[in-house]
Amino acid sequence: MRTAAVRSRLQDGGGGRAVKRRRDWGERQITAALHSLHGFRTDAKEMASENHSGLQADPTWHKIYQSDPLGLNATLESGEGDSATDSGQRKRRHSDDTQQQSANSFKKPRIDTPLTPTTLIVPISPIATATPSTPASRTSRINSADEKQQLAPTSAQVSATAASCSLTSPPMPTPASAPAPAPAPAPAPIRPTAVYWDLDIPTNAVIKERPPIEMLPPHPDVEILRAQLTVKLRQHYQELCQQREGIEPPRDSFNRWLLERKAIDKGKDPLLPSDCDPVVSPSMFREVMNDIPIRLSRIKYREEARRLLFKYAESAKRMIESRNATPDVRKTVKWNVEDTFNWLRKEPSATKEDYMERLEHLRKQCGPHVAAVAKDSVEAICGKIYYISGEYVKRVREKHLQLLKECNISEEVERPEVMDRLVYCYPLRLAFPAIPLPRADLHFENEVACIRYKGEVRKISRNYLSKLEQLYKYSCIDDVRFDKFLTRVWCLLRRYQSMFGVGTHEGTGFQGALPVPVFEALNKQFGVTFECFASPLNCYFRQYCSAFPDTDGYFGSRGSFLTFSPVSGSFEANPPFGEELMDSMVTHMEELLGNSSEPLSFIVFIPEWRNPPTPALVRMEESKFKRHQIIVPAYEHEYRSGSQHICKKEDIYYKAVHSTALIFLQNDAGFTKWEPMPDRVQQLMAAFKLTGKSSSSSSSSSSSSLSTGEKDQEQGRDQSSNTVRH
């Protein structure tokens, strides 16, 4: 009774009438309880439940409860309490119900703490010595395939936690959804303002458990040396093309050489090739030969066509005269060149089409002879670049091993035993233990994060730094304090810059990604949860394959797709547009589809190059696993820029200058589960219309320098593939 009086005095400011009313009411309640003790015990739980439901529906209850969890001041608005009491129908208080339920127990004061799920999240990442474990969903003791259960507690978990709390504190409303707990202490996240990914989508990709890979852990000093040597290798390539063939290196041909070499390389460096068969790269050889004697660019005007025809004839004649050619070859080429010069003098008013037709005729007559005399020289260029790359790999590895030795880490690592079982895919991990990393500094310039190491600054937008932070939190388990986060981000950015070059817009087309609405449609209509070719910078899902397992594994990469062997799942594949890489991709996909009886599906996006058609496109169109094919016309769809992590928001999307072929490769079980039915396909095609540029009012005229560069690059790649091969 003293407690009730104190409460009434606190609520009414010491008013006597209010105290008397509350004391009388309390006495009546106690008397009634003594007369019907058994009935009260039976109905108390139902009464409390009804009161709790009514309080949840009351919009003012949450504010009152948060400010006064013990219910000491949980009164109604002034005036309402008295009238309710006078009418004899006073509304039951939440605190009163609680007192009745626990009348015989001592009530401890409640301490406000955030409600957390009972199941912890254990992210999977490249670690030093531990053996690979099951996916995060299984490590977290959640047997469902839906990994989203790791990120938010289920209603059952919340209810169970709330029930346990009700023994010592008043019941509280069950939230509709609880926030995901952080797996480890981390810096405060940088909130993104525009999001081009969905990292909460769980995986449905199932693989056989695999051991950690024997790659050396990344180090910024090693990345600096590798970057310097890669720049030198690019310079060697440029000098050889200029000195031996009198041409500039074909645009992005060095980057395509790296992609083609790494598809077959058995060397130990993640970037530079050193153990390839054949030595002469088909990609580099083809692209250099296509630019001999001159590069044939796209022609828009009549005068350009006339100059191009004249220049080609002159260059062909000069090359035949300066190389070892038979007399018959020299005679044939010179006769065709002179005939072209005479035609140019006689037809000063010819049309653009006339000039292009004449150029095509000259190429057919002289091209094979020019290629024959240039073949040995071009092969020598390809071979020399490859051998120089091998020497650079030795230098980089020596420095890397020296750093390991300084950290008392042996070059030899034990191979852990791997269980023969199926698991959900998890980030690739390194067999070598993590080594101490020097510190990288961070500062911001407006919306750009600048990460500095030894005076070299790598830049990334705030949004994408936040994305890398989330990926790191999901995937890395050897750095719970985020001490190595910035240094590893620096290594990641330095690696991709080394691969794609420092030229304006150089290499950005190799990192191009599908628009966000397309990914959403792929996930909703066809269950796609995995990207076969992506990077931490441009991925949409948190599970993906990428080019560099050592730097990307900390951010969720599953390694190279060509060594990734899923048993089931739904996948999206948008490979870099290199012919040899795309051909290797098709070979790997057909092998996977043929070996699995579980649902397996690949939706492939590649350019529709028809003059001549690429081997990968032809093979997929003729594959027994092809279920459906769609052609998206050129300039009617868009891609996301490869430099999206640093470019302006309005420059992220650019128009595709070539048509894109969508091909569904599925085994029987995959076709049954993710059949490309007309309504699903229609939803996917509609998603191509909902791109970022078309939805932005300011982007109608935003074909800025970046998007223009992207178009030029795509045109150059399209032409390099469509040029007649010698």
pLDDT, tens digit, 9 for 90 and up, residues 21-66: 656 666 676 666 555 544 444 444 444 444 444 444 444 434 333 4
CA separation for the pair 451, 442 (Å, rounded): 5
Q: What pLDDT score was predicted for residue 416?
A: 83
For residue 690, which of 651, 636, 642 has the smallest C-alpha distance? 636
- Indicate the DSSP class of residue 368: H
pLDDT of amino acid 29: 64
| Residues listed for the chain | 726
β-bridge mates for residue 605, sequence order? 662
Whether 692 contacts 699, CB under 8 Å:
yes
Q: pTM of this prediction?
A: 0.71
Q: Is 47 exposed, middle or buried (0-12, 13-18, 19+ CB in 10 A)?
A: middle
Q: Residue 295 and residue 241: Cα distance in Å, rounded?
A: 12
Residue 6 identity (one-letter amino acid): V
| CA-wise closest residue to 261 among 562, 465, 1, 6 | 562
Nearest residue to 572 via CA among 203, 150, 261: 203
Q: What is the pLDDT of residue 24?
A: 67
Q: Are 516 and 196 in contact (CB under 8 A)?
A: yes
- Over the stretch 344-387, which tens digit does the pLDDT of each residue have? 999 888 999 999 999 999 999 999 999 999 999 999 999 999 99
The neighbouring-strand residues paired with 540 are none
Region for 124 from its dihedrals, namely left if φ exceeds 0, alpha if ψ lies in -120 to 50, beta otherwise: beta
Residue 299: predicted pLDDT: 87
Beta-carbon contacts of residue 557 (< 8 Å; ≥ 6 apart): 427, 428, 535, 536, 544, 545, 546, 548, 549
What pLDDT does 508 receive? 59
Cα 61 vs. chain centroid, distance in angstroms?
43
Contact 664, 628 (CB under 8 A): yes
Residue 153, CA distances (Å) to 182, 492, 726 in order? 13, 33, 62
For 167-192, letters b (16+ CB in 10 Å) and e give eebbbbeeeeebeebebeebeeebeb
Low-confidence ranges of the chain (pLDDT < 70): 1-27, 29-194, 503-510, 690-726
Q: Quote the radius of gyration of the chain (alpha carbons, Å).
A: 34
Classify burial at 714, counting beta carbons within 10 Å of its beta carbon; exposed 0-12, middle 13-18, buried 19 or more.
buried
Residues 6+ away with beta carbon under 8 Å from 342 = none
